[in-house]
Amino acid sequence: MRALRLFIILIVAFRFGLDEFLLGHERVRALRVLVRRLSFWRRLAEPRAVRLRKALENLGPIFVKLGQVLSTRRDLLPADIADELAKLQDRVPPFPSSQVVVTLERVYGKPLAQVFAGFESEPVASASVAQVHLARLPDGTEAAVKILRPGIQSVIRNDVALMYSAAWLVELLWKEGKRLKPREVIAEFERHLRDELDLMLEAANASQLRRNFSDSTMLRVPEVYWDWCASEVMVMERMVGTPISRIEALRAQGVDIAQLARNGVEIFFTQVFRDGFFHADMHPGNILVDRDGRYIALDFGIMGTLTDVDKNYLAQNFLAFFRRDYRRVAQAHLEAGWVPPDTRVDAFETAIRAVCEPIFDRPLKEISFGRVLLRLFQTSRRFNVEIQPQLVLLQKTLLNIEGLGRDIDPDLDLWQTAKPYLERWMSEQIGWRAVFRHMREEAPNWSVLVPQLPRLLHQRLSLPRSTAWHEQLEAMARELRRQRRWIVWLTLLLALTVALQVTLHLL
């Protein structure tokens, strides 16, 4: 099966002239004459980037998804190819309704008529991994039913194995292959694909995102109906809205387009920096807008997560960018260990300034984030910046945000919209609010530990004396003195902070 799939891939690659990507390398120069003689009948009139995009579309949904991810890696691809791959969409024909019925009846163990009060055989959406049908639950609730595409697991398994082989070749043939970590990118891609193949995981993602925005006036997330969910089936609330790409229709409904764009920026930064859990597939097909101007999120198969370290690094970089503090950007990279320790901060600062300074004080319509990212990645290559595979999805999401923002409100000033939110978030992380928050979070631990201290000390004193015991006791005493000093300083800091806040309030 894998050999047959490889043969098909090679045929498609040859048909679209993708051999030129490989034959351009010096190590395989001897093959050029042979391939040219075998391909005398080909007429390759289209640019190479267009041919690559069409080849990926011909190879199927997994390669389309990989192309979408690669479009964000402008450190890995030339600009023309990255721009063309960004046009890839999941345009996949639906699978027959007879297979839908077979899957549902196997999952539920009974006839479809006994599961739903009504079920529409024609899908309302069809993507690479699953498709969606409308239905009514037994109590009459309108629902959307997502069904996994039959046989998709084996297709993905074989294609991902071949992608690993290709990544290995990239590392072998390209001098910068190891720095760009193509195998780590494929591993990250594979992990998210595996998540998409278990609709219970997607249901959990939707539930988490809904809980995160339960009080939001800007974003709606469908409720999951858990009693009807399984690994191959997800049933959720039916959401009604207008696709975000239909701007004129939204205007006709009285939606404030400028406010909608600003809300989109805040929703994105809230997901990334407050929650560290963000929707990573925000193309127009996955976003609706209701009549009240609220976003409706759909399709939760690809979600990104960030650690506190990642969030803090990104927030410092974003805020430094917005303040034009390029030295701080350079220092943040050094502190994170993403550039060699012997990197000259002033040289790195100058390179970053050359990338970012031309784009400030300009509306979104005059900024190409694709070109900015390209220049940033060129700078990262020059200074040997370590590529972070866990941020690939965030890069992809940023490009999606750029495209959406350009369609919704090209006059949006992204910097002025995002800066106040980031400053507030940073204040909550490292300001006086953070001190109170951390104390509140640690309070339960102290309430458990403090009452036990006399008993633990008595037990320790009851043990036979020894040199080791005396050394441990002295170490404990030193630690207690250190903690006491720390508590005293923290108390003074809190007192000063409160006094400062009161003084500022009075002024």
Q: How would DSSP label each residue in 228-241?
A: G-BTTEEEEE----
Q: Which range (69-78, 284-293, 498-507) has the least confidence?
A: 498-507
- More confident site: 457 or 212: 212
Q: Return the pLDDT at 378.
A: 64
d(CA 53, CA 73): 15
C-alpha distances in angstroms, 491 versus 304, 435, 444, 451, 496? 38, 11, 19, 21, 9
**Cβ contact 16:51 at 8 Å:** yes
Exactly one of 159, 281, 299, 409 is catalytic; name it: 281
Mean pLDDT of 409-423: 74
The question of whether 256 is a catalytic residue gets the answer no
Determine what percent of the chain is predicted with pLDDT higher than 70: 66
The residues that bridge with 125 in the sheet, in sequence order, are 132
Q: How confident is the model at residue 230 (pLDDT cuts 50, 70, 90)?
A: very high
Q: Which range (10-19, 43-52, 53-62) has the least confidence?
A: 10-19
Q: Return the pLDDT at 206.
A: 96
Most confidently predicted of 32-46, 253-267, 400-414: 253-267
**DSSP strand pairing (125-126 vs 303-305):** unpaired
Instruction: Give which of 126, 145, 127, 136 is closest to 61, Cα–Cα.
Output: 127
Most confidently predicted of 60-74, 237-251, 384-398: 237-251
In the chain, where are the structural domains located? 1-90, 93-126+129-238, 241-430, 431-506
Residue 230 tokens, joined? 């399984």
Q: Return the pLDDT at 370.
A: 52
Q: With 60 as the cut, is the pLDDT of residue 492 above it?
A: no
Summarize pLDDT for 236-293 with one digit per residue, the tens. Answer: 999 999 998 888 999 999 999 989 988 888 898 889 888 889 998 877 778 999 999 9
Please count the other Cβ atoms lying within 10 Å of the Cβ belonging to residue 322.
Answer: 18
Q: With 60 as the cut, is the pLDDT of residue 505 above it?
A: no
Q: Return the pLDDT at 368.
A: 60
- DSSP secondary structure letter of residue 224: B
Q: Return the pLDDT at 504.
A: 47
Q: Return the pLDDT at 286.
A: 85
C-alpha distances in angstroms, 433 versus 208, 267, 419? 25, 22, 19
219 phi, psi to nearest 5 deg: -135, 135
Q: Return the pLDDT at 274.
A: 84
Determine what percent of the chain is predicted with pLDDT higher than 90: 23
Instruction: Give which of 102, 89, 95, 152 is closest to 122, Cα–Cα.
Output: 95
HSE-CB at 219 with a 13 A cutoff on CA atoms is: 25
- More confident site: 240 or 333: 240
d(CA 272, CA 311): 7
**Cβ contact 103:119 at 8 Å:** no
Q: With 70 as the cut, is the pLDDT of residue 496 above it?
A: no
Summarize pLDDT for 445-488 with one digit per residue, the tens. Answer: 666 666 766 776 666 666 565 555 556 656 666 666 665 555 55
Instruction: Give which of 170, 189, 191, 173 is closest to 181, Cα–Cα.
Output: 170
Summarize pLDDT for 156-180 with one digit per residue, the tens. Answer: 877 788 778 777 776 776 666 666 6
Tell me the average pLDDT of the chain.
77
Q: Return the pLDDT at 313.
A: 74
d(CA 232, CA 488): 57
Q: How confident is the model at residue 443 (pLDDT cuts 50, 70, 90)?
A: low
**Cβ contact 321:329 at 8 Å:** yes
pTM as predicted: 0.70
DSSP string, 23-53: HTSGGGTTHHHHHHHHTTT----S-HHHHHH
Please count the other Cβ atoms lying within 10 Å of the Cβ belonging to residue 175.
Answer: 7
Q: Return the pLDDT at 51.
A: 83
Summarize pLDDT for 95-123 with one digit per residue, the tens. Answer: 898 999 999 999 999 999 999 999 999 99
**Cβ contact 278:362 at 8 Å:** no
DSSP string, 257-305: HHHHHHHHHHHHHIIIIIISEEES---GGGEEE-TTS-EEE---S-EEE
Q: Return the pLDDT at 234.
A: 97
The strand order across the sheet containing 242-243 reads 219-220, 295-297, 287-289, 242-243
Mean pLDDT of 368-393: 64
396-430 burial, b at 16+ Cβ within 10 Å, e below that, comes to bbbbbbbbbbbebbeebbbbebbbebbeebbeebe
- More confident site: 336 or 240: 240
Q: How confident is the model at residue 72 (pLDDT cuts 50, 70, 90)?
A: low
